Amino acid sequence: MSHNPLLSAFNTPYHTPPFNEINVSHFEPAFNEAIKEGKAEITLIADNNDAPSFENTVEALEQSGKNLTIISQIFFNLNHAATNEEIQKIARNVSPLLTEYSNDIWLNPVLFEKVKTIYDQKEQLNLKPDALKLLEDTYKGFVRRGALLAGDTREKYREITKDLGQLSLQFGENVLAETNGFKLHLTNEADLSGLPGAVVEAAASLAKSEDKEGWLFSLHFPSYYPFMKYADNRELREKMFKAYTVRGNQGNKHDNNDIIRKIVSLRLEKAKLLGFNSHADYVLEERMAQSASKVNSFLQELLDASLSFAQDDVKEVAEFAAKQGLTDALQRWDFLYYSEKLKTEKLGLNDEMLKPYFQLENVEKGVFGLANRLYGLTFKANKDIPVYHEEVLAYEVYNADGSFLSVLYVDYFPRPSKQGGAWMTSFLDQHKTASKDIRPQVSLVMNFTRPTNSQPSLLTFMEVKTFLHEFGHALHGMLSKVTYESQSGTNVYRDFVELPSQILENWATEKEWLQDVGIHYQSGEVIPDELIEKIIASDNFQSGYATVRQLSFGLNDMAWHSLTEPFTGDISTFERDAIAATELFPMVNGSSTSTAFSHIFDGGYSAGYYGYKWAEVLDADAFEAFKEKGIFDAATANSFRTNILEKGGTCHPLELYKAFRGKEPSIEPLLKRSGLIKK
């Protein structure tokens, strides 16, 4: 067999993936070899005749399969950010092999007996807190993955997990295909009325790239969102809206309806095999929220606080639209358009006024600068680090004392091979070996507005916030300071993981930081105080509507995963019933959130989407600590770093939070920040 770079030591800076040497054809042989190697490591642990100990069983399990983990992280990150048909085919081939490998560990009775023996004597072992947590998590991991099952139920569990892996992959492939499958082709210049020049230029560039005359608009967010916000042509807005909201719900080969039925029913069946009433009960056992009833009461509390504000927001936009000449009911494809016009009239502010101040390169510099002011970090570009796509940039990250901290990859722009949205991921998580602190390799993947022939990439204010959000996740990964890889960085409860990301968004409405980042791309002028004041004043604009919209996603997710019987019904009807309390507009036939809801059907957020709002409670409360001492206060930042960012999943999140804040979080700062308290 020819040389396979995935099966050799990486001869690259910081042992980063050698993307310049990796071909797609290398992956399947590498997976097969790494699985074989991992199985051999597991066999050694199981067959060890020495008395089971924390070191020879729990730590050995933690350290097994390292090469498989590295290959998997490289491959599945590519499948999300730079995929093609060949990669997708390999994903379908290796997914069941990886599920089988995992099941062979968790369902191994000899291994479980060894772990249980150690777990039963945990009080006598005098383990450090992180080691004790690893032992407890390992034991729970076995139980939650079927170790107590026997006979037919054990085999059924194997089948279910294998099927779920394939179905999730297919769901994501379908959403990407549907997103890429529609483009609005315009040849009449009049149809561009209302659209900013940069948006029109980007559409012309897209059309040219596909050898078409005129302008092309896609369902990728940097194209779709400004079209919905600015296009005067209402019929075209409706057309775009409907194309976006029927993804996965068109009865074609990319339809996700039956996949959802299968996923939710299989997740339920798996939960019941393991002794839970629903998938939500299964998931929430390992979350801060702990139970479906607590999540639902939390969502209801926020809905009660925000619904009347949301109704007022929609009413205000509807009345404004009527004054602007809209003669029939305000529809979903009207809201963003008229809301933006109302914001301009009311606050003298819109995205187009701000974008010239948010050139991507300056925002990046400002975000890196924030990490420097808070944590003393510095960033140095390194073109010798191989990247998986020519647009990706790689940075070395250093601590204040000059010690190396992490590699950071950034991948800013949309392309057909990349899934929508924005996310942080990693090619290697921080952990320690006997002799070395292995530093992480973190990646940020965005879908920001591309540069055009006439201007650089200029970000909307929402994109600035997105950058801060994902960079907060990156800090969680980069600043990790733990022993065990499974406890590293973002390997924490899902309803806690958004705290480090969301707290960083708070700096987007702080004058001191905005002056650092807001530099006019042509004149070099610092963003004026007047605009900063408008940004701060506009932060709560329509926050009732925004809150209820987020709650609708959380309620939809909880409804799907609180099912206690297999689901055979109509997806759209179920969804409508689930979010009925949040509805602010007339129904649109064919529209479905669920059929493109990748977070919960192709991501890790099933029974967990509420976590964004849950973590908002934490981040609003936590940011109060910064406001009390100063938003760049070194002692507060150091406390957040040492108590939360460095600790990963080494102990319960509430304990970490209280160590930082000195108390449990309160919901009041969030309601106050969002303007959801009646005056």
Supply the residues annotated as catalytic.
Answer: 470
CB atoms < 10 A from the CB of 252, how many?
Answer: 11
- Identify the CA nearest to 421 among candidates 443, 442, 446, 444: 446
CA distance 266 to 281: 15
Handedness of CA 85, 89, 91, 92 (dihedral sign): positive
Residues found in the chain: 679
Joined tokens for residue 385: 């680090």
CA distance 56 to 42: 11
Joined tokens for residue 373: 């002011």
Q: How far is CA 509 from CA 86, 122, 303, 530, 673, in A?
A: 44, 48, 25, 13, 11
CA distance 27 to 141: 28
Phi and psi for 632 in degrees, rounded to 5?
-115, 20
- Identify the CA nearest to 676 among candidates 302, 298, 295, 296: 302
Q: How far is CA 114 from CA 102, 157, 173, 485, in A?
A: 17, 22, 40, 21
Helix, strand, coil shares of the chain, percent, nearest 5, are: 60, 5, 35
Whether residue 175 contacts residue 256, with contact meaning beta carbons closer than 8 Å, is answered with yes
Helix axes 27-47, 66-81, angle to 10 degrees: 150
CA distance 154 to 160: 10
Angle at CA 274, nearest 5°, toward 271 and 276?
Answer: 55
CA distance 226 to 126: 59
- Secondary structure (3-state) at 67: helix
Question: What is the arrangement of strands in the sheet containing 393-398, beginning at the earlier edge strand?
Answer: 378-381, 393-398, 404-411, 441-445, 423-428
CA distance 472 to 37: 35
